[in-house]
C-alpha cells in the first residue's frame, strides 16, 4: 500500500511542470536515477499537492547539546533545495544518533497534514498528527501518545507507551497512520477522532511503509523479531494476509499504477535495521516470495512513494552525517536493474540547511489595531481557520473588545491559560467576545487542539 493514490498521467500541464522541475538536475542523473533534491537534514516521508509540488518531512537533528530540540521542519522542494514552509518543529535524537521528529505527510481536502514523533522534545506537544499551514503555522489535531496509552495493542512492548508514527496517507475523509511503537495501523479523522484499523503487534518486530493497492486495500511492511520482512495486505473488511515474503528489514513500500509492488529494504538485523551503511535497496516483486533488485547501494533509506509523474521517489539517509547530506531520488520503475547511485553526486550540491519561517503554532505577524484598519479602535477580531488563530498575536489598548469567530470546519475554543476567559465550544460559524480591561499578556489555546495558540497583548 503506497502512500500515494493511483495516478493518471496529466499530459501537457504536468509534463511541463516536471520538465521545469528537473531541468537544473540533469547533471545529477544517469541510467534511470535522478537526484531530485539534496542538502536535506534527515529526510523522511514525502507527498505532492494537487499541482504536483513536492513536500518532504525533515526530522531535524534533535537539540544541541541536549537530545530534544525544535529542529524539525516541513519543506517544499524548490529548484532542488528545501524551502521550509514550517520549522521549529519538535525533534529528538537518541544515543545512537537516530532521530525522530516530522515523519510523514499527506494532503487531505487541500490541507497538508504531518505525522510526527515528538519524543518529549516540546512539553506543549505530543507525537501525533498536525495540520500544517503552508505559510508557516501548525496545529495538532490528534494526540497519538494519549490514545496509544489508553488503547494498548494485543501484544504491547513493555515500557513507556509512547507512539511513533512513521507513515501516513489520505484515505477518503480521514488519514491512515502507521504507528511503529505499537505495531499498528490507525485512522485519524480531521476532527481528531482516532480508531485502530489493524494490529501487527503479534509479529514482535516493527512496521514501516504504507501504500494502497488498486482495490483500495492497504499494504504494510512488517519485519519480525528475527529480521524477516514481509508485505501484508489489509483488506477493506480488516482481514490480514501476507502478499510478499522473503524480504529483509522493510523500511518502505510502494505500489505502481500497474499494480506491481516495490519494497525499500535493508538486510540488517531487525533490532537495528538502520545501522548498516550502503546496503539499502529497492526490490521489485516477481512472485509471492521472490524479487529482483531495482536500485542498490543506498545509505539507510527512509521512505518511498510513487509521484504523480509515475516515478518512484525515495528519501535517504535516516541519520545524516555530515549535516544536510540527505536527499531525494527519483527512480524509473521500469528500468532494468540493478541500478546504482553514487553518493559523490552530493558533493556538487548547492543547497544548505535553511531555517525558513518560524512555525510557532498558527504563526503569523503580530497585528495591532492600527494595522487592522478597523474603524472602531475599541473592537478587534480574531479569525479561526485552518486550525489556527489569525492573527495569533494581537496588540490592543486596554478596554478593547476582541471577538473570535470560528470560520473553520471543526469546533474550537479560545481558552486563556490563566483562566481569565473561555469561549467554551465554538461550532463553525459561532463567535465569542471578551473585553480586556487590564494591561498584560494573555496567552490562550484551543482546548481541543493543543498546537493552536494565540496571544493578546494589552497595553
Q: What local confidence, expressed as pLDDT, does residue 124 receive?
A: 56
What nine digits make up the cell of 164? 511513533
Residue 20: other Cβ atoms inside 10 A: 10
Let me know if 432 is exposed, middle or buried by CB neighbors in 10 A (0-12, 13-18, 19+). Answer: buried
Q: What is the dihedral of CA 241, 245, 250, 256, to 10 degrees?
A: -80
Mean predicted confidence (pLDDT) in 133-143: 77
The per-residue b/e assignment along 160-184, b for 16 or more CB within 10 angstroms, e otherwise, is ebbbbbbbbbbbeebbbbbbbbbbb
How far is it, in rounded angstroms, from Cα 155 to Cα 429? 44
Domains recognised in the chain with CATH numbers: 11-348 (2.120.10.30), 367-458 (2.60.40.420)
pTM for the full model? 0.72
**Among 190, 230, 19, CA closest to 106:** 190
Q: What local confidence, expressed as pLDDT, does residue 120 receive?
A: 58
| pLDDT tens digits along 206-247 | 999 999 998 889 999 999 988 899 999 998 888 899 999 999
171 band by pLDDT with thresholds 50, 70 and 90:
confident
User: What number of CA atoms fall less than 13 Å from residue 14's CA on the CB side?
Assistant: 17
DSSP state of 318: S
Let me know if 412 is exposed, middle or buried by CB neighbors in 10 A (0-12, 13-18, 19+). Answer: buried
* Cis before 449? omega within 30: no
| pLDDT tens digits along 279-313 | 889 999 999 999 999 999 888 889 999 999 999 99
How far is it, in rounded angstroms, from Cα 190 to Cα 296? 38
Mean predicted confidence (pLDDT) in 308-332: 82
| pLDDT tens digits along 75-110 | 999 989 999 998 888 888 877 677 889 999 999 999
What nine digits make up the cell of 119? 519524543
Let me know if 437 is exposed, middle or buried by CB neighbors in 10 A (0-12, 13-18, 19+). Answer: exposed
136 band by pLDDT with thresholds 50, 70 and 90:
low
How far is it, in rounded angstroms, from Cα 88 to Cα 69? 8
**Range among 305-314, 330-339, 403-412 rated most confident:** 305-314
Residue 51: other Cβ atoms inside 10 A: 9
Amino acid at each position: 500500500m503506497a502512500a500515494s493514490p493511483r495516478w493518471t498521467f496529466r499530459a501537457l500541464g504536468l509534463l511541463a511542470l516536471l520538465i521545469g522541475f528537473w531541468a537544473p538536475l540533469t547533471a545529477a542523473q544517469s541510467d534511470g536515477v535522478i537526484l531530485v533534491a539534496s542538502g536535506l537534514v534527515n529526510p523522511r516521508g514525502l507527498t505532492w499537492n494537487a499541482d504536483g509540488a513536492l513536500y518532504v518531512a525533515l526530522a531535524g537533528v534533535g537539540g544541541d547539546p541536549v537530545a530534544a530540540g525544535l529542529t524539525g521542519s516541513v519543506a517544499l522542494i524548490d529548484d532542488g533545495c528545501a524551502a521550509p514552509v514550517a520549522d521549529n518543529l519538535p525533534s529528538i535524537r537518541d544515543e545512537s544518533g537516530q532521530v525522530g521528529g516530522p515523519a510523514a505527510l499527506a494532503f487531505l481536502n487541500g490541507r497538508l497534514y504531518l505525522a510526527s514523533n515528538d519524543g518529549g522534545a516540546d512539553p506543549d506537544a505530543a507525537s501525533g498528527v498536525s495540520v500544517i499551514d503552508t505559510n508557516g503555522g501548525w496545529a495538532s489535531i490528534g494526540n497519538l501518545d494519549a490514545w496509544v496509552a489508553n488503547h494498548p495493542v494485543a501484544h504491547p512492548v513493555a515500557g513507556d507507551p509512547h507512539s511513533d508514527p512513521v507513515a501516513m496517507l489520505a484515505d477518503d475523509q480521514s488519514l491512515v497512520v502507521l504507528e511503529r511503537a505499537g505495531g499498528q495501523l490507525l485512522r485519524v479523522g480531521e476532527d481528531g477522532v482516532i480508531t485502530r484499523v489493524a494490529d501487527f503487534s503479534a509479529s514482535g518486530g516493527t512496521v514501516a511503509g504504507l501504500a494502497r493497492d488498486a482495490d483500495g486495500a492497504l499494504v504494510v511492511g512488517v519485519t519480525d523479531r528475527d529480521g524477516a520482512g514481509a508485505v501484508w495486505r489489509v483488506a477493506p473488511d480488516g482481514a490480514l494476509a501476507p502478499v510478499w515474503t522473503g524480504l529483509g528489514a522493510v523500511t518502505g513500500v510502494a505500489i505502481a499504477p500497474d499494480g506491481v509492488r516495490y519494497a525499500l529494504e535493508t538486510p540488517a538485523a531487525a533490532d537495528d535495521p538502520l545501522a548498516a551503511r550502503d546496503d539499502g535497496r529497492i526490490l521489485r516483486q516477481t512472485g509471492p516470495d521472490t524479487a529482483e533488485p531495482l536500485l542498490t547501494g543506498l545509505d539507510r533509506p527512509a521512505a518511498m512513494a510513487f509521484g504523480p509523474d509515475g516515478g518512484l521517489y525515495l528519501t535517504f539517509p535516516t541519520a545524516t552525517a555530515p549535516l544536510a547530506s540527505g536527499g531525494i531520488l527519483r527512480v524509473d520503475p521500469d528500468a532494468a536493474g540493478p541500478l546504482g547511485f553514487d553518493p559523490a553526486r552530493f558533493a556538487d550540491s548547492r543547497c544548505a540547511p535553511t531555517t525558513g519561517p518560524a512555525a510557532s503554532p498558527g504563526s503569523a505577524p503580530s497585528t495591532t489595531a492600527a494595522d487592522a484598519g478597523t474603524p472602531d479602535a475599541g473592537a478587534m477580531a480574531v479569525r479561526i481557520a485552518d486550525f489556527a488563530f489569525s492573527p495569533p498575536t494581537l496588540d490592543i489598548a486596554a478596554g478593547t473588545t476582541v471577538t473570535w469567530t470560528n470560520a473553520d470546519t471543526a469546533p474550537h475554543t479560545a481558552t486563556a491559560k490563566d483562566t481569565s476567559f473561555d469561549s467554551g465550544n465554538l461550532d463553525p460559524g459561532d463567535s465569542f467576545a471578551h473585553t480586556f480591561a487590564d494591561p498584560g499578556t494573555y496567552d490562550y489555546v484551543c482546548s481541543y487542539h493543543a498546537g493552536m495558540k494565540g496571544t493578546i497583548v494589552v497595553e
